[in-house]
Amino acid sequence: MTGPSATIPRRSYLFLLVGTIGYGCFLFVWFSIAAFLTPITNQLGLSSTAAGLLNGAVPLMYIPFALLSGLIIDRVGAYKAIGVGLLIVGFAQFGRGFAAGFPMMLALTLLLGLGGTGLTFGLPKLVSDLFPPERSGSMSSVYLIGLYAGTASAFGLGRPVLGPALGGWRPLFVLSGIVTIAVAVGWIVLARLSDDIATLAPAAPEATDGAGEQAFSLSSILSDVRRVITHRDLQLLVVIGIMYLFVTHGLQGWLTVILEGRGLTSTVAASITSGLIIAQLLGTVALPPLSDYLGKRREVIAVCGLLIFAGTAGILLINRLTLATVLLTVGSVGIGIGGLATLVRSLPLNMDGIESKLAGTAVGLIFMVGEIGGFSGPFIVGFLEDLTGSFTPGLVLLSVSGLVVVLAAIPLQNVD
């Protein structure tokens, strides 16, 4: 890991740039299913249940495989994990362009999700290997720009522009698969040409026997799992991760419907939901670098929680939605979510006993448990609406989640 006073080589920024592009490709590929769900459903003759399963197949893979993926990444290194992950994502997307039915489409989407874990947990490992801990938030914000760019491009560029220009979703899937494979090849070439690959190698020498074979022994794996599971600060960060994903998916999935129920047109409601994503991007690029500069990561996490609480409560309590109130409420929630998006990934790099050597495992644990919140958020909000005929109970839960973030942030120690 790069020392605090060491000069960071330009190659480190180049790796981060290519990794960001790769992450953007992964998110574009991931959400291309959601963007083209209607024509895919019609052409493949899918039921609503099958279409919903396709839509949730990628995050579904994170629950059983996130921790395992993190353990492997900590042993093989970030550059291998990211390269292999991109190749899997690219070939899976390429194959989805030729899928003839639901079983093949589902299998390839699950494979795509598995490959995606290489990027989701490989990129935090990359940042921990190439940059000092005091810059972890700023550098993590960079690759998360790819997350928002890829997601927005799938809906704003893929569906309305590229799909019609290429002749439909199948050619788009094939082309985006090829592009992702090309980025993977570029990553691999860059890694091979690097004059010092040691900075990207596994950073846990105490887990090896000198020959590199001990790293995958059962005792070594169990030891690492035990260290992350029993780490007090990481346990608190897992709670924060659950709340982050609960609010992200719970609000983002229902916000358009909630706003339509408040009297807004479908177009305006959809635009405001897009604004939520823009606000997340603002939170991602502003709050984590600020936490690095101030050395107040715990306090910034608490601020994110307060923004989520106040913004969601505002959506619930404000009777008349105007441009100003929407910017204040939805913008606050988005900024809070965006700040947490980076900090739940970067904070383990600053924790004593975790740092670079267990970065992949720690972030894998956060997402393995956290995706339970990601799945339950939209479901609980919808279930409570069916039960009560109102979104008020769901919004109350989403708002309270922000307070849980604050309460979990207060006891954090040794993270600054």
Over residues 369-415, the pLDDT tens digits come to 998 888 888 888 888 888 898 889 999 999 999 999 999 999 998 77
Identify the pLDDT of residue 6: 57
Identify the pLDDT of residue 104: 96
Instruction: Give the three-state DSSP class for 202.
Output: coil
- Mean pLDDT of the residues in the chain: 87
Identify the pLDDT of residue 3: 47
pTM: 0.82
130 versus 355: the higher-pLDDT residue is 130
pLDDT digits (tens, 9 = 90+) for 175-225: 999 999 999 999 999 998 875 554 444 444 444 444 444 466 778 888 888
Identify the pLDDT of residue 252: 81
Identify the pLDDT of residue 110: 95
Averaged over 64-92, what is the pLDDT?
94
Residue 275 tokens read as: 């604004």
Instruction: Give the separation between CA 281 and CA 174, rounded to whole angstroms.
Output: 28
Instruction: Give the separation between CA 94 and CA 115, rounded to whole angstroms.
Output: 13
Contact 362, 234 (CB under 8 A): yes
Max Cα distance, the chain (Å): 67
Identify the pLDDT of residue 186: 96
Identify the pLDDT of residue 203: 45
Residue 342 CB contacts under 8 Å (≥ 6 apart), including other chains: 137, 140, 141, 144, 284, 287, 288
pLDDT digits (tens, 9 = 90+) for 124-183: 999 988 888 888 888 989 999 999 899 888 888 888 889 999 999 999 999 999 999 999
6 versus 263: the higher-pLDDT residue is 263
Identify the pLDDT of residue 259: 84
Identify the pLDDT of residue 195: 57
Identify the pLDDT of residue 134: 80
249 versus 112: the higher-pLDDT residue is 112
| C-alpha distances out from residue 4 to 1, 7, 77, 211, 294, Å | 9, 8, 21, 29, 16
Does residue 20 surpass a pLDDT of 60? yes
* Domains of the chain and any CATH numbers: 10-196 (1.20.1250.20), 227-409 (1.20.1250.20)
Averaged over 281-304, what is the pLDDT?
92
Fill in the amino acid letter for 393. Answer: P
Averaged over 55-74, what is the pLDDT?
89
Instruction: Give the three-state DSSP class for 99.
Output: coil
Which range, 17-26, 42-51, 132-141, has the best average confidence (pLDDT)? 17-26
Does residue 87 surpass a pLDDT of 80? yes
Instruction: Give the separation between CA 83 and CA 181, rounded to whole angstroms.
Output: 9
Whose tokens are 């939520």? That residue is: 276
Which range, 9-18, 19-28, 195-204, has the best average confidence (pLDDT)? 19-28
Identify the pLDDT of residue 204: 44
Whose tokens are 């022994």? That residue is: 217
Residue 380 CB contacts under 8 Å (≥ 6 apart), including other chains: 250, 394, 397
pLDDT digits (tens, 9 = 90+) for 299-343: 999 999 999 999 999 988 887 777 788 889 999 999 999 999 999
Q: Which of 79, 85, 106 is nearest to 95 (CA)?
A: 106
8 versus 397: the higher-pLDDT residue is 397
How many alpha carbons lie under 13 Å from residue 189 in its C-beta half-sphere?
7
